[in-house]
Structure 1
Amino acid sequence: MNIALWVVAGLLAAVSLASGARKLIQPAEKLAASGYGWIEDCSGNTVKAIGTLEILGAVGLILPAVLGIAPVLVPLAAVGLALLMVGAIITHLRRHESQAIVLPMILLALYVFVASGRFGLEPFTG
């Protein structure tokens, strides 16, 4: 179970890092043109804040456990990213984009898997 949690956390960290970096680097207009229609409902600062939270969450999924410093931050980062996915699902539902909720729902399930695994099933022990 520990290996599965590490693998899933690593993949989620890579996805979150890439997604967050894209939101920070690319202008909102370019993101909207590439399929991020929800950006039309947000300010540029909101998009940057979401990107920043995704990057911080990606770091929080891996770094505390690797360094052995406050490993409780790993499941907390997973919970934070899961909450971002809940927000994404709600946003897509409000915009009647039912196809767009598939990926956030999968990511939500994986974040919950990591959070529950690291809080209870296979916590880091010092």
Structure 2
Amino acid sequence: MQVAYWIVAALLALFYVYAGGKKVLQGQEELRPMMAWVDQVPMPFVKAIGVLEVLGALGLVLPPLTGIAVALAVAAAVGLALVQVGGLALHLSRGEARVTGLNVVLLVLAAVTAWLATVWL
């Protein structure tokens, strides 16, 4: 189970460091081509989502790696799943049901990661 956790958690962490980092470091104009929804959401909120994604990615990796507060890995995975629930809600409210595939995949992976992270509890 630990090997499965590390594979899924590493993939999620890489994705969220990239996606969250873009939201934190780039402005609305640079994000718009990839994330059209940034026009409808205040930029401080977009930046906050990015920070949460980066912190979630760190929470997937650092606690199990160090053995300190390993329950935070479960919390991070649940938090990232909730981020995807919010993403699904936003896309569906905008009539963008066809672009929710990535959100669904990330939601499932985060839920699986939360379950796999219980190995340390």
TM-score normalised to structure 2 length: 0.96
Residue 116 of structure 1 and its aligned partner are, at CA, apart by 1.5
Which position in structure 2 is the counterpart of 1:82? 81
Q: Distance in 1 between matches of 2:56 and 2:2?
A: 20
Q: Distance in 1 between matches of 2:34 and 2:57?
A: 23
Which position in structure 2 is the counterpart of 1:110? 109
Which position in structure 1 is the counterpart of 2:120? 124
Q: Distance in 2 between matches of 1:35 and 1:58?
A: 21
Residue 37 of structure 1 and its aligned partner are, at CA, apart by 1.1
Moved runs in structure 1, 4+ residues, more than 3 A? none
Q: Distance in 1 between matches of 2:107 and 2:76?
A: 12
Which position in structure 2 is the counterpart of 1:5? 5
Which position in structure 2 is the counterpart of 1:15? 15
Q: Between Structure 1 and Structure 2, how many residues are aligned?
A: 121
Gaps of 5+ in 1: none
Contact 2:4 2:116 in 1 (8 A): no
Q: Distance in 1 between matches of 2:28 and 2:55?
A: 20
Which position in structure 2 is the counterpart of 1:51? 50
Matches within 5 A, 1:61-100: 61-100=60-99
Q: Distance in 1 between matches of 2:57 and 2:34?
A: 23
Q: Distance in 2 between matches of 1:59 and 1:35?
A: 24
Gaps of 5+ in 2: none
Contact 1:82 1:108 in 2 (8 A): yes
* Root-mean-square deviation over aligned CA pairs: 0.9
TM-score normalised to structure 1 length: 0.92
- Deviations along 1:23-52, one digit per CA (max 9) or x if unpaired, are 0111012211x1311111111100100000
Identity of counterpart residues, as a percentage?
Answer: 41
